[in-house]
A and B are shown apart, each in its own frame.
Chain A
Amino acid sequence: MIRQEDMTIVSQKLIASNIYELTLKGDLVEEMEQPGQFVHIRVHQHVSPLLRRPISIAAIRKDLQTVTLIYRAEGDGTSLLAKSRSGDKVNVMGPLGNGFPIDDLGKGQVALLVGGGIGVPPLYELSLQLRNKGVEVIHVLGFESVEKSFYLDQFSELGKTFVATVDGSLGTKGFVTDVIEKEKIDFECLYSCGPLPMLRALEERFATKKGYISLEQRMGCGIGACLACVCHVANDPTMKKYQKVCSDGPVFRMGEVMI
């Protein structure tokens, strides 16, 4: 069930250039199940910045009643959030949206998780849950540069992890698709989150494979009422059918919506 709660900041760490890892504690964690879901955060009670910030869930720890979020401090809201400290309260609405389905795969099958930049975080909880089911996980993570890379050790603990950077400062110079090609990675199901050009390239290359992508879009309400974050359904000649990224997504089957 979606709820609002003032959660307590347990820790906040700068883990890469402008990238923060925020861990929150509260009862709301009980509601969090699916990897790929997100929360909508109100950074303060003032009128500016006004709107909530959608941030994906990176890790759920039911035993500790904590949830970890990884975000980039970019605009007014996330920069303010980055200034908050352990013990501070932050208003969280969630969990929102539909996450990555993990029931398709069983023990011994191979999942390829492909993340780009700030699209990497939700893949961490996904990888944890797949691993718990005995699924073999392979990660291909793309970053702009080594300074902006994060969580490589954490992913490496769960499965084979390849890195691509645009400037070549870490791993393969180039894009995630170059790595997949180079390493001749085969898999049963693809899961991806990251910039649109990356998602488009993956959809094109693996058109016949099963896979899921998570989309990002500027949002208003986060619950499907304001229609700010819609996208067209693929192969719809009327161009009138739509899906809402916030409440129908953010995860869609590859090929389901126009990206």
Chain B
Amino acid sequence: MNPLQIELPGLSLKNPIMPASGCFGFGREYSQFYDLSMLGAIMIKATTYESRFGNATPRVAETPAGMLNAIGLQNPGLQGVLTNELPWLEQFDVPIIANVAGSQVEDYVEVAKEISKAPNVKALELNISCPNVKTGGIAFGTIPEVARDLTKKVKDVSEVPVYVKLSPNVTNIVEMAKAVEDAGADGLTMINTLLGMRIDIRTGRPILANRTGGLSGPAIKPVAIRMIYEVSQQVNIPIIGMGGIQHVDDIIEYFYAGASAVAIGTANFVDPLICPTLIKELPEKLAELKIDHISEIVGRSWKSEVI
């Protein structure tokens, strides 16, 4: 038995490791480095109905153990993704999770309806938590009623299971998670980036042209772990965890917190081979920890607590 094989709604994964949306484009650049078929899945760059150029530059700024980004959902639009990107990805034996974004409900619904028909799209990731666009995005991810309504409408039209990507920029993450679960979400992905800012001390101005950006990288891992720990005890749908994973130990920590799979984001920029490396190291780590199958340890941190 493959100790890494995972079954999640819509997704049969040969391993629980996948690149996170926005950190991997549509895979072309990384295909220079390795065969994308070895990945558990690929979460492709957010797709909006119309193509978007995104924000002005600078779009990134480094921070201690992390980085800020404010790309602004640059993407070729629904038609561009359906025509050029998804067919190209069909050469690989890997399920695609399509990240769907928009600035109004109709955009999300239209993109979800069309993109979920693509043969290699096995699940959607509803992006209700992008902090870097002026309208929509994060608003959908911070008000439970709005998130519930949007999830319901997307579920009505999607041909594949829907995972909702939660924003950490909320007071009560459990309330958000329960709201989208009620609305029929098949799973959660968490967390998106934390809203942050850096100021250039020479100019006295924010470094990012967008002023604020989303913080990612190892700096946010404890926040993600805490949120997954809280949410996984309160919902009955699986969680794909992400935020600052760099080492195989980080993956174990995410599973202990309550994640059923993980996504790798910022680390791809530091080491383009990070996903294959982790996929190779994970079985060795499990053997070392005497774990027969990765799914055994989901939520171990709270399951083992004496209440």
Q: Which residues of A contact B (CB under 8 A)?
A: 1-2, 4, 42, 47-52, 75-77, 93, 217-232, 239-240, 242, 247
Contacts and interface: CB of A to CB of B under 8 A. Distances in A.
B69 A228 contact: yes
In the A-B complex, list the 6 residue pairs whose CB atoms are closest, starting with the nearest: A225-B25, A225-B29, A228-B60, A221-B269, A48-B65, A47-B65
A218 to B, nearest CB: 5
Given A50-B62, A50-B217, A227-B54, 5 more contacts: A2-B32, A49-B64, A218-B61, A221-B268, A228-B57
13 contacts: A2-B33, A4-B272, A47-B218, A48-B65, A49-B62, A50-B62, A77-B62, A217-B58, A221-B29, A225-B268, A226-B22, A227-B25, A240-B51
Contact of B25 (A47, A48, A93, A224): A224
Given A4-B272, A218-B61, A227 B74 contact: yes
A2 B217 CA distance: 24
Nearest to A77: B62
Most buried by B among A1, A49, A77, A231: A49
B232 interface: no
B76 to A, nearest CB: 9
Nearest to B208: A218
A220 B269 contact: yes
Given A226-B69, A227-B25, A220 B74 contact: no
Interface string B39-66: 0000000000001111001111110111
Contacts of A231: 57
Q: In which size bucket is the chain B interface? A: 35 or more
A229 B57 contact: yes
B67 interface: yes
A220 B68 CA distance: 10
Given A42-B270, A47-B217, A48-B64, A226 B25 contact: yes
Most buried by A among B53, B69, B246: B53
Contacts of B64: 48-49
Nearest to B273: A4
Given A217-B58, A229-B57, A223 B66 contact: no
Nearest to A218: B58
B104 to A, nearest CB: 19
Contacts of B30: 223, 225
Contacts of B23: 221, 225-226
A42 B271 CA distance: 9
A91 to B, nearest CB: 8
Given A4-B271, A52-B270, A225-B24, A242 B53 contact: yes
B59 to A, nearest CB: 5
A51 B57 contact: no
A222 B25 CA distance: 12
Contacts of A50: 62, 65-67, 217-218, 266, 270
B64 to A, nearest CB: 5
Contact of B71 (A49, A75, A227): A227
Given A48-B64, A50-B270, A52-B270, A227 B29 contact: no
B51 A218 contact: no
Given A50-B270, A52-B269, A225-B30, A230 B54 contact: yes
Most buried by B among A50, A229, A240, A247: A50
Nearest to B27: A225
Contacts of B61: 218
Contact of A51 (B33, B53, B62): B62
Contacts of A228: 57-60, 69, 71
B115 to A, nearest CB: 19
Contacts of B66: 50
A52 to B, nearest CB: 6
Given A225-B25, A228-B71, A242-B53, A218 B65 contact: no
B8 to A, nearest CB: 25
Contacts of B60: 51, 218-220, 226, 228
A97 to B, nearest CB: 13
Nearest to A229: B57
Interface in B66-109: 66-67, 69, 71, 74
A161 B296 CA distance: 69
Contacts of B54: 227, 230
B218 A240 contact: no
Contact of B29 (A229, A240, A247): A247
